[in-house]
Structure 1
Amino acid sequence: MATKSKSFKTSFGLKLVAFFIAALLAFSSAICAVEAINDLFRYGSEILTKPAKSLDMTETSLFASKLNSDVQSIYAGSGLMTWDAYKSTYYSTFDEELSAARTELERFKKECMSEAVAAYRDKHAVSEYSSSQKSDNATGAGASAYTTNVYENVSAYSRSDNVVSPNYDKDYYDGCRESYSLKSGDSGNVTFTTSTTDEELVSLVSNAYSQVMSAARREYETTVAMESRSIKNIKNLKYYIYNPSTGEIITNLETETSEEKANEIKKSGDYSAFTSGSRWYMVYTADGGLVAASPQITRDTLYTVQSGDKYYFSLKSDYYYKRTLSNVLGSCFSNNGYDIILMLPETLSEGDDYYNMQSEMEKSSADTYNYIFLSLASMLVLAMVSVYLIYAAGETAGPEKIKLSFLDKLPTDLHFVLAAAVAGAGVYGILTLAADYKHAFDYYADGKALMMFVVMSLIAVAVWAVLLEWLCSVSKYYKAKKNWLRSTLVWYIIRLIGKLFSPLKRLREKPVRLRRRVLLVLIGYIIGNTVLTGVAAMCRGFWFVLLTAVLLLYNILTVSLMWKYVLSLDRIIAASENAKNGEPPENIYSENMPEPLKTLALNLSLTQEEMQKAINEAVKGERMKTELITNVSHDLKTPLTSIISYVDLLKKCDIDDISAQKYINVLDEKSIRLKRLIEDLVEASKASSGAVTFNKMNVNLHELAVQAVGEMSDAFEERNLDAVLNEPTEPIVIYADSQKTWRIIDNLLSNVKKYALPGTRVYIDVGRDSSYGTITIKNTSREKLNIDPDELTQRFVRGDESRTMEGSGLGLSIAKDLCTLQGGKLELSIDGDLFKATVKMPLVYSCDDEQGSVQ
């Protein structure tokens, strides 16, 4: 039993037979449904609710369309449609055609002039005005060009705009031609040029209009003859046409009614003499319109559009409105003074369309039930076979249990879209054919209608096949236990985007450029705001309020995000400002900060911590270095003091040996120099570390300079240097430590003594500069100064690169540190061999808030 069940699902032949059976069932179901719908459309739902013998075809739109066509045939074939009426219906008058041709000629000339001007400019490649200025001198070169009024040789109606042309290509303008067809028909063609005058145009239009009218006359005579034969075939529709003014009577009634009798009936308003024994009738008069009608007369009867080719009435207004029965009766009969009575007898005679319509309607009552039954039965069996095909979809007898086709391997959503698109196109095609059939079903004779029904049924079968294939694909996915959602194109795209943006996961570990993030936020904000604003502007009512609320919320969220960026950035800026001012570092990093400001805050915090560590280490190292230098200096001073003392004792001894005395003097000189070097080194170390005590007071800078220069005068005279000290016009009083300031000046003068060119002057100027008292020392250097001034203030740097002269290279460094610690400055400058040192110390009035000693 299990083997039979498996064979039932895996047999390819059985599936193929089932598919063809299902296709035939789908076709039969569709064509039966189409036939049933067609009968319901033609005859209405009455064919299902009433007995066949009680059906009346006069209640259908099919009858209304046939009646409309026959009334027009009666109008044309009975001689009521005259040549003048036919001509005014279809064709324009000569004056109308001439006016239209004149308008077209004027448009044509203006267009040609524009093209000629453009052609002239293209040839000469100059502007309109420059070409106009040069045209008088350009005779004989290039194409013919003129500056003239192009309308001066044409009729007055084409000169109404009083336009004077610019330069233009006259050969191009004169060669323009156009063929124009009259509005009344393509057989009336007129060819004119830019030189065509109004008289020539009148002649051309007249000849063309005569040709159109000749063809129209032949068409009119053919139409009247054809409709005269057509009304002879109208047997069951009876008509009585009467003109009260002329007494003219046109009728196909077997019994004649005199003019006097017709007048009496019209006065009384009782038309039973005509309508008795009729299953349908209507009376339409010239002065009263529709005055009497049978109960079957409906709006459809009066306003159903006739679907044939007959419309012998004015076409100058709405096309469909003009083709209704009501308008035909008004335009063709009542407007011309005719009353018309139309009737159908109770018993219809064989041999015309009315009898056939009634017979087909009665027959369709039983056929429609059969079509509906067959369609439903076919749909039921079709559903059963379709379920089997879906159940057995993909089943195979081989090792591959579920076999997927090419379409099954497509992304599932793409597969669905393709199936839906094909099915939708098929449904649209069926609806289009149905609408065309409904609009002009009279055009479709039995053979054409059957062909249309077959085409619609085949399209329905194709739609069913496409939907069945998609359902079978879904069944295969379920049996193969494949995730339908994860097989969609959308899922593949999401995965691809995820792979493309996977590096973003490492953004927390890598620095991100703030400008990129801000740029993306701004672009997203602008796009989102634009889209929401545009959609909201197109909506009304509830949706407008909802989208406005969404837009407001979107802007609030965006502003909140930007504000979060601003607050975080402001916090980082404040932290960096505090760090610049030397304040202790603070931890500004926070997990709530947006990227990349979080990275910036973390880096800044780490940098401040490392910088603080480095500062602490540097201070600690400097302190240890100072302590080392102090201790070493102290350890050196003790033996050095003993050496100096014993050298001094040796100098006092009575030693006759000249060489020994010389050696003793060298020992004395070098020991004193070593002592001074140790003292300078200790002082430089203290100054650089700030471990110096200052006793600030009011100091007269000029007096201090005089004292320093006085003590250095012997050394200056020994080196043949002339010191020139300028006295200020007013006392320069600074707030500083007098001893440390004197040491600054002494170091500078010692530097001059060592490196100044002998035989030159040394200028010492005391003055003020803003809030500083200044002392400037200028001298001429003995050696070339190929060094940056800032380097001279560094420790152990000397202007004497050979280091053959006395000095430790610490004097300027000590002077600078002592200046800085007292709030002053030491500025050095070199101009060739001129060396200039300027000391700036705070004046007394700028230090009024300082009291006592300053550490």
Structure 2
Amino acid sequence: MKKQRVKLTAAEKSELFAEGVVTIVLLLLLNLSIIILFHLAILQDKNLVNGLIFIKESLMFTGSHTWSWQRILMIAMMIADLLVLYWRLIRRYHQMQLRHVISELHYIANGHYDHRINFAVKPDLQKVIDSINLLVDSTVNSINEERAIEKSKDELITNVSHDIRTPLTSIIGYLGLLKSGMASPDDQQKYINIAYNKAEQMRSLANDLFDYSTLKSTSTKLTLSDLHIYSMMEQVAAGFELEAAKQGIHFEVEARPKELTFKADAEKLVRVYNNLIGNALKYGKGATTIKLVANSVNKREVELRVENNGEKIPQDSLKKIFDRFYRVETSRNLKTGGTGLGLAISKNVVEMHHGTIKCESDDNWTSFIIRLPLKQPDAEKPA
């Protein structure tokens, strides 16, 4: 933003003009006093008169007097007067600038945090203004972060309450039927199974909440080891083969090179794969294939991809898909059994590994793409 000079009000311009007039009058009186004193000193001191005559004769060109001591004195006093006048006017102008800056500060302090001081002033005051603007920016950012945290807490409480209340209501209802003795023997087993499944959903939510809060903690450290990614992907895929087969989905596992190895926390990275594959099985409607791919990139990074050829994710949802409790489905029912925390947990794990994760989706493939460094120099190794 281009800085502007301080615009003086009519009253300030009048004040500046009056300052100049008063200064000129005082300087004229001072000059008159000096001239009178010089005249008195010259009349009383013969040696000073002779010295002035000598100087006067030395400043002769072509036989004529070009300078007189009076003229030299007048010019010297005029230069001094101009310097004093400039100094007093610029000093008063800087005082007016400071008043404008203080006025702007009061305006910001009254709650106008979107306002900034946009003056071009002297260097020392400019540094102060720039520091003030930075301080206001920092304060506004802190306020916005605090509001976002409060909003996030409210959303967390609301979402957790909803996700706990729904299965809990079912559990209480079916247990109530069992307690009343009104259910037939066949229905009793059915109700017990439903109550058990709902309890499992609640446990899943509790586990996800615990994992999410643990990963967000700054005290959580990685337990690093050399990870052979192809072997790990095969083991993870094997754990989902039965569930995938029921949905007519098969796995394709590939690593380039096949012996690709890098430093990572194997347990946490397996959790990421479990979340991403589970997400594909629950929400990848119409999918027939899930690909697990690992590629070495520029000998510095590894790219991990979990892809499925199911239904495309809407573009608007891609921007929010890693937000906690966000679900692509519009309703907050638990038909799919998801808590909405799996992808948020995956993002936290990836960021702990100093990596990035993103999601791309088109009519052919939905791809979760992870970039991790081959080495983890800043992470702590286990003792």
Same fold (TM over 0.5): yes
The partner residue of 2:342 within 807, 811, 828 is: 811
Provide the residue aligned with 1:698 in structure 2: 226
Q: Residue 278 of structure 2 corresponds to which residue in structure 1? A: 750
Q: Which residue of 2 aligns with 1:840?
A: 371
The 2-side partners of 1:619 and 1:783 are apart by 30
Does 1:741 find its partner at 2:269?
yes
Which residue matches 1:513? 119
In the TM superposition, residue 764 of structure 1 has moved relative to its aligned partner by 1.5
Alignment of 1:296-307 (within 5 A): none
Identity of aligned residues (%): 21
For residue 201 of structure 2, the aligned residue among 651, 670, 673 is 673
Q: Look up the equivalent residue of 1:779 and give its one-letter code.
A: N
Indicate if the aligned counterparts of 2:223 and 2:265 stay in contact, CA closer than 8 A: yes
Aligned with 1:792: secondary structure?
coil
Q: Is the 8 A contact 1:701 1:766 kept in 2?
A: yes
Q: Distance in 1 between matches of 2:150 and 2:332?
A: 29
User: Residue 605 of structure 1: CA displacement?
Assistant: 3.6
Cα displacement (A) at 1:611: 5.2
For residues 587-606 of structure 1, what are the structure 2 equivalents within 5 Å?
594-606=124-136
- Provide the rounded CA distance (Å) in 2 between the counterparts of 1:506 and 1:601: 17
Q: Is the 8 A contact 1:733 1:773 kept in 2?
A: no
For the pair shown, which has the larger CA radius of gyration, 1 or 2? Answer: 1
2:304 corresponds to which of 760, 772, 775: 775
| Structure 1 pair 596–848 and aligned structure 2 pair: CA distance change class (3 A) | closer
1:733-779, Cα deviation, whole Å (9 max, x unpaired) = 12111110000011000001101233521222111223222221111
1:793 paired residue number: 322
Alpha-carbon distance, 1:784 to partner: 5.4
Pairwise mapping of residues 198-597 of structure 1 onto structure 2 (< 5 A)?
A: 504=97, 506-509=99-102, 510=104, 511-514=117-120, 517=121, 565=123, 594-597=124-127
CA distance in 1, matches of 2:205, 2:276: 16
CA distance in 2, matches of 1:851, 1:686: 17
Q: Distance in 2 between matches of 1:840 and 1:703?
A: 19
Residue 761 of structure 1 aligns with an amino acid whose one-letter code is: T
User: Which amino acid is the alignment partner of residue 264 of structure 2?
Assistant: A
**Runs (5+) with no aligned partner, structure 1:** 1-412, 414-498, 519-564, 566-593
| Alpha carbons of structure 1 residues 853 and 826: separation in structure 2 relative to 1, 3 Å | farther
Distance 1:608 1:834, change over 3 A: same
SS of residue in 1 equivalent to 2:346: helix
CA distance in 1, matches of 2:148, 2:225: 29
Judge conservation of contact 1:734–1:841 (CA < 8 Å) in 2.
Answer: no
State the partner residue of 1:710.
238
1:537-583 Cα deviation digits (max 9, x unpaired): xxxxxxxxxxxxxxxxxxxxxxxxxxxx3xxxxxxxxxxxxxxxxxx
CA contact (8 A) 1:785 1:833 kept: no
Displacement of 1:815 after TM fit? 0.2
Distance 1:729 1:833 in 2: 25
Cα distance in structure 2, aligned partners of 1:612 and 1:838: 32
Secondary structure, counterpart of 2:320 in structure 1: helix
- Taking only aligned residues, the RMSD between alpha carbons, in angstroms, comes to 4.1
Is 1:827–2:334 an aligned residue pair?
Answer: no
Q: CA deviation at 1:500?
A: 11
Task: Give 3-state SS (helix, strand or coil) of 1:695's partner.
Answer: coil
2:253–2:291 CA contact under 8 A, matched in 1: yes
Point out the more displaced range, 600-609 or 698-707.
Answer: 600-609
Asked if 2 retains the 8 angstrom alpha-carbon contact of 1:695 and 1:852, the reply is yes
Q: Aligned pair in 2 of structure 1 residues 660, 817: CA closer, same or farther (>3 Å)?
A: same
Structure 1's 793 and 512: CA in aligned 2 closer, same or farther, altered over 3 A?
closer
- Per the TM alignment, residue 607 of structure 1 is displaced from its structure 2 partner at its CA by 4.2
Aligned residues: 262
1:782 deviates by 3.2
Change (3 A) 1:853 1:614: farther
Equivalent pair of 1:755/1:783 in contact (CA under 8 Å)? no
Shift of the 506–832 alpha-carbon distance from structure 1 to 2, 3 Å rule, reads: farther
Q: TM-score normalised to the size of structure 1?
A: 0.27
Aligned ranges for residues 44-63 of structure 1 at < 5 Å?
Answer: none
SS of equivalent residue, structure 1 residue 832: coil
Partner of 1:662: 190
Q: Which amino acid aligns with 1:832?
A: D
Give the aligned partner of residue 293 of structure 2: 765
Partner deviation per Cα, 1:433-485 (whole Å, 9 max, x = no partner): xxxxxxxxxxxxxxxxxxxxxxxxxxxxxxxxxxxxxxxxxxxxxxxxxxxxx
Residue type of the partner of 1:781? Answer: G
How far does the alpha carbon of each residue in 1:215-271 deviate from its partner, in whole angstroms, 9 at most, with x for none?
xxxxxxxxxxxxxxxxxxxxxxxxxxxxxxxxxxxxxxxxxxxxxxxxxxxxxxxxx
Which fold has the larger relative contact order, with Cα–Cα distance below 8 Å and residues 6 or more apart in sequence? 2
**CA 1:621–1:787: 2 relative to 1, 3 Å:** closer
SS in 2 for 1:765: strand
SS in 2 for 1:763: strand
* SS of corresponding position for 2:327: coil
Once the 2 structures are TM-superposed, how far is the Cα of residue 786 of structure 1 from its aligned partner? Answer: 4.5
Kept in 1: contact 2:313–2:366 (CA 8 A): no
Distance of aligned partners of 1:737 and 1:604 in 2 relative to their CA distance in 1, 3 Å threshold: same
Structure 2 unaligned residues grouped into runs of 5+: 1-24, 26-91, 105-116
How far apart, CA to CA, are the structure 2 residues paired with 1:801 and 1:685?
A: 25
1:324-380: CA deviation from partner (whole Å, max 9, x where unpaired): xxxxxxxxxxxxxxxxxxxxxxxxxxxxxxxxxxxxxxxxxxxxxxxxxxxxxxxxx
> Are the counterparts in 2 of residues 728 and 766 from structure 1 also a CA contact under 8 Å?
yes
Instruction: Report the AA paired with residue 667 of structure 1.
Output: A
**Contact 2:312-2:361 within 8 A present in 1 as well:** no
Cα 1:753–1:501 change in 2 (3 A) is closer
